[in-house]
């Protein structure tokens, strides 16, 4: 049974999430369940702000003794300028999703890429040497690509509606030991290409408003090709529903949320995150 949250006392340390909106966020639920499990005197709260006040809001962390925070849409890029030190990962991704203090300096980190790779690993897929298709080239695709390349993926194609954006992403993150290419969305029905993929990641919000997914020939992918949608909703997203109907294995975005949160939790508390408890708070189970 999940432990009851501890009462907030005069000693309680505060962690939060900056975003606009934040009322939909599952992070408070996930982190508070973890604090309760480890009996840590912490509380995680929503910190809704707007772009005009963001700088002041982040600065107030020090004044108020807020020990750490996550940053979500639409402020992940803005937060780059507000940290006193950036980790190499945050610099490479060009966005911050986690703020914490180290030696009194406010550090900006990004745990989205590692969260994605850890979510894959939890489902038995190691990114090393894998051949991947990423659909989309926005902020989340940047984090996913960085995580995959750090983990040794061999061949990654980024297909996007706006080709120039995919090309820019490939240029920014390319490295000598992995092949990264940009492509148009018509690659999504290219049999010869799709049959080579071991992982397909949807980094677009397409389908979330009830529309059908893009023109994508899931049947051309190998039977064990993992389909990962960064988005999640109450029902499987159209992308995952399509993959599941063709018996391809699927993972939804809550697993990435879980593992990016677990990495941030370590920075906030210095403790290893109780991942199974956090998963339960998100309504998911760890496989196996």
Please give the positions annotated as active site: 76
Instruction: Give the nearer residue to ligand NDP in terms of CB position, either 58 or 169.
Output: 169
> How many other C-beta atoms lie within 10 A of the C-beta of residue 234?
5
Peptide bond into 21 cis (omega under 30): yes
Binders in 190-219 for ligand NDP, by CB under 6 A: 203-206, 208, 214
Extract the tokens encoding 142. 């940047």
Residue 70 near residue 47 (C-beta atoms within 8 A)? no
Find the binder of ligand NDP among 96, 120, 226, 231 (CB under 6 A).
Answer: 231
Find the binder of ligand NDP among 12, 50, 162, 179 (CB under 6 A).
Answer: 162
Q: Is 256 in the site for ligand NDP (CB under 6 A)?
A: yes
Distance between CA 270 and CA 1 in Å, rounded? 25
* Number of residues located near ligand NDP, criterion CB under 6 A: 23
Residue 142 near residue 129 (C-beta atoms within 8 A)? no
Instruction: Give the nearer residue to ligand NDP in terms of CB position, either 40 or 72.
Output: 72
Find the binder of ligand NDP among 139, 147, 238, 274 (CB under 6 A).
Answer: 139
Instruction: Give the nearer residue to ligand NDP in terms of CB position, either 156 or 257.
Output: 257
Q: Minimum CB separation from ligand NDP for residue 261, in Å? A: 9
Q: Is 261 in the site for ligand NDP (CB under 6 A)?
A: no
Coil, strand or helix at 165 = helix
**Residues 92-121 vs ligand NDP: string with x where CB under 6 A?**
--------------------x---------
221: which DSSP letter?
S
**Tokens 């009462």, located at residue:** 7
Q: Minimum CB separation from ligand NDP for residue 258, in Å? A: 8
Residue 134 near residue 146 (C-beta atoms within 8 A)? no
Residue 169 near residue 158 (C-beta atoms within 8 A)? yes
Q: Minimum CB separation from ligand NDP for residue 76, in Å? A: 8
Coil, strand or helix at 215 = coil
Q: Is 138 in the site for ligand NDP (CB under 6 A)?
A: yes
Find the binder of ligand NDP among 16, 19, 108, 136 (CB under 6 A).
Answer: 136
Q: Minimum CB separation from ligand NDP for residue 49, in Å? A: 18
Q: Is 257 in the site for ligand NDP (CB under 6 A)?
A: yes
Q: Is 165 in the site for ligand NDP (CB under 6 A)?
A: yes
β-pair partners for 17: 46, 70
Instruction: Give the nearer residue to ligand NDP in terms of CB position, either 141 or 281.
Output: 141
Radius of gyration of the chain (CA): 19
Distance between CA 265 and CA 272 in Å, rounded? 7
Beta-carbon contacts of 284 under 8 Å, excluding residues fewer than 6 positions away, are 252, 254, 255, 258
Residue 205 near residue 175 (C-beta atoms within 8 A)? no
Using CB under 6 A, list all residues that contact ligand NDP: 112, 136-141, 160-162, 165, 203-206, 208, 214, 230-231, 253, 256-257, 260
């Amino acid at each position: 049974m999940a432990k009851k949250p501890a009462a907030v006392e005069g000693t309680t340390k505060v962690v939060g999430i900056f975003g606009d909106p934040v009322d939909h966020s599952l992070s408070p639920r996930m982190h508070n369940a973890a604090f309760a499990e480890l009996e840590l005197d912490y509380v995680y709260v929503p910190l809704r702000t707007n772009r005009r006040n963001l700088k002041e809001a982040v600065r107030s962390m020090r004044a108020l003794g807020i020990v750490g925070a996550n940053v979500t849409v639409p402020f992940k890029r803005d937060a780059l300028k507000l940290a006193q030190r950036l980790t190499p990962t945050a610099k490479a991704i060009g966005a911050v999703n986690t703020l914490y203090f180290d030696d009194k300096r406010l550090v900006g980190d990004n745990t989205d890429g590692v969260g994605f790779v850890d979510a894959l690993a939890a489902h038995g897929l190691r990114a090393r040497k894998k051949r991947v298709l990423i659909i989309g080239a926005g902020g989340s695709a940047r984090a996913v690509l960085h995580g995959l390349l750090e983990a040794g993926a061999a061949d990654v194609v980024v297909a996007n509606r706006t080709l120039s954006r995919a090309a820019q992403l490939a240029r920014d993150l390319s490295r000598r030991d992995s092949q990264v290419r940009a492509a148009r969305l018509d690659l999504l029905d290219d049999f010869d290409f799709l049959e080579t993929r071991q992982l397909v990641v949807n980094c677009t919000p397409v389908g979330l408003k009830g529309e059908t997914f893009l023109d994508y020939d899931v049947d051309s992918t190998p039977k064990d090709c993992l389909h990962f949608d960064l988005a999640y909703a109450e029902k499987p997203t159209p992308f995952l529903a399509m993959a599941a109907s063709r018996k391809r294995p699927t993972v939804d975005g809550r697993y990435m949320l879980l593992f990016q949160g677990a990495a941030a939790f370590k920075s906030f508390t210095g403790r290893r995150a109780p991942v199974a408890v956090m998963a339960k708070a998100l309504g998911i189970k760890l496989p196996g």
